[in-house]
Amino acid sequence: MLQTYLETLQARMSRDDYHKLCALDSPGVHQFIVEAAELCNPDGIFICDDSPDEVARIRNMAIVSREESAALAMAGHTFHFDGPYDQGRDRAVTKFLVAKGSTLSRAINQMDQDEGLVEIRGLLRNAMKGHTMIVRFLILGPANSAFTIHCLECTDSWYVAHSVDLLYRHGYDAFRQAGRETEYFKTLHSAGRLNEDMVSLEHEKKRIYIDYLANTVYSVNTQYAGNSVGFKKLALRLAIHKAHREGWLAEHFMMMGVHGPGGRKTYFAGAFPSACGKTSTAMLPGETILADDITYVRNMGGICRAVNVESGIFGIVNDVNPGDDALIYRVLTSPGEIIFSNVLIKDAKPWWLGMGCELPKEGINYGGHWREGMTDAAGEQVLPAHQNARYTLALKALPNRDPELQNPLGVELGGIMYGGRDYRGYGPVQQGFSWEHGIVAYGAALETETTFAVVEEERKHEINMMSIQDFVSLPLGQYLKNYLEFGGRLKKAPPVFGVNYFLKDLETGEFLNDRRDKHVWVKWMELRVHDQAGAIESPTGRLPGYDDLRLLFSQVLGKDYTKEDYVKQFTIRVPENLAKLCRVETFYRENVPDAPPKLFSVINEQRERLIGAREHFGDYISPESFAEQGSPDDQARANI
Cα distance between residue 103 and residue 532, in whole Å: 47
Three-class DSSP category at 609 = helix
Cα distance between residue 237 and residue 233, in whole Å: 7
Give the HSE-up count for residue 622: Cα atoms under 13 Å, Cβ half-sphere.
Answer: 8
* Contact predicate 203/218, CB 8 Å: no
Of the candidates 61, 166, 78, 62, the one whose C-alpha atom is nearest the C-alpha of residue 350 is 78
The CB-based long-range contact list for 562-566 (8 Å cut-off, 24+ gap) reads 565/512, 566/623
Residues 6+ away with beta carbon under 8 Å from 314:
163, 167, 225, 226, 229, 232, 293, 390, 391, 392
* Contact predicate 352/344, CB 8 Å: yes
Active site residue 357: no
The most distant pair of C-alpha atoms in the chain lies apart, rounded to whole Å, by 80
E-state strands within 459-515: 461-463, 496-500
Cα distance between residue 367 and residue 137, in whole Å: 33
Catalytic residue chosen out of the listed positions 22, 276, 357, 582: 276
Of the candidates 518, 583, 578, the one whose C-alpha atom is nearest the C-alpha of residue 552 is 518
Q: Describe the crossing of helices 15-22 and 2-10 by its angle, rounded to 10 degrees.
A: 160
Residues 6+ away with beta carbon under 8 Å from 165:
55, 58, 59, 136
* Contact predicate 63/51, CB 8 Å: no
* Contact predicate 464/420, CB 8 Å: yes
* Contact predicate 418/442, CB 8 Å: yes
* Contact predicate 560/553, CB 8 Å: yes
Query: C-alpha distances in angstroms, 529 versus 264, 277, 354, 523, 532?
Result: 12, 22, 35, 10, 8
Catalytic residues: 276
